[in-house]
Amino acid sequence: MTFDTPPPTAPVSRSLKFNPQKHKLLTLAAGCFWGTEHMLRKHLGQKIVDLVAGYANGNVPPGANGVTYERVCEGTTNFAEVVQVAFDPEVLGLNELCDFFFRMHDPTTVNAQGPDVGTQYRSALYAHSHEDLDQVRNILERWQPRWNNSIKTEVALAESFYDAEEYHQRYLTINPTGYQCPTHYLRNV
C-alpha cells in the first residue's frame, strides 16, 4: 500500500510502500542520507519492505511551502537527513535494525558524521509508536557500554517527514562513484 495523500508533515513518507497492519516504521538519521540508505540497502535489503530518504523532525520556515535540500543545508530548519524504513517485524526485528544502526555510523558525535557537519547530520532514531520509542530507548542503553564516549543519538517520536527530492533516492546506486561519508561502515562493536 502506498500513501499518496497524507499531509506534508505526516510522519510517514508519501511514497513509502507500507501496510500499517503488517509493517512497522523506524526513521533513522546517521549523517548523510546517501550513505545511510546505501548501507541499509546493501546489508539489510532483502529484509526491508521499503525505504525512502527524506527530512524529519524539523520546522518549516514561515511562508515556505515545503522542505528542500537547500533549505535544510542552510541550517535554519533543524530537519535531519533521514531514511524512513518500513519493515516486517516477523522478518526484521526492531532490535536487529537498531543494532545495525549503532554499528554503521558513529553515534557519539553531535551534529556531525565525518566531514559532514550541521544539525541535519545528527544521529537520531525516530520511532512511530510509544511502544517502539520505549524499546529504542532500551536498545540505546544496551549499546552505551560498547562505546568509549557517550552516545549522543537523539531518540524521539517521529513528528514530521518530507520525502527528499527524487535525485537523492537511491543516490549511490545510481551514482556509484558519488560521495560516501567515511564514517559509514560496519564496526565490530
Residue 99: closest CA among 148, 49, 142, 150: 142
Distance in angstroms (rounded) separating the CA atoms of residues 87 and 24 = 5
Q: Is 32 a catalytic residue?
A: yes
H or E stretch covering 48: strand 48-56
Question: Quick one: cell of 59?
Answer: 520546522
How many helices (H) and strands (E) are present in the chain, helices listed first? 5, 8
The residues facing 28 across adjacent strands are 83, 125
Residues annotated as catalytic are 32
